[in-house]
Amino acid sequence: MGSEASKGKQPIERGDGWLEIELGRFYNEGGNGDGEEMMETCLKEVDGVHLKGGPIVEGIKIRSNSC
């Protein structure tokens, strides 16, 4: 999901100094509509088998497409 969606994309710098890149999209079918649905995600290397080091993720923001 995220690997294919972000190939070839470069992060853009926002006005607040943070970098932003779309890692993927998902569709949440169902839920009870109260805005309290649960989602689990992970960030990992999928093209290789070696452990990677270097990037520091200080925050991830998940938002709807309507933002």
Tens of pLDDT, residue by residue over 30-52, are 666 676 777 777 777 777 777 76
Nearest C-alpha neighbor of 23 from the set 51, 60, 64: 60
Q: Are 52 and 45 in contact (CB under 8 A)?
A: yes
What pLDDT does 31 receive?
66
Nearest C-alpha neighbor of 4 from the set 34, 25, 19, 18: 25
The better pLDDT of the pair 59, 50 is held by 59
Q: How far apart are CA 32 and CA 21, in angstroms?
A: 29
The model's pTM is 0.47
What pLDDT does 5 receive?
45
- What number is the average pLDDT over the span 9-36? 80
- Is 3 a residue whose pLDDT tops 70? no
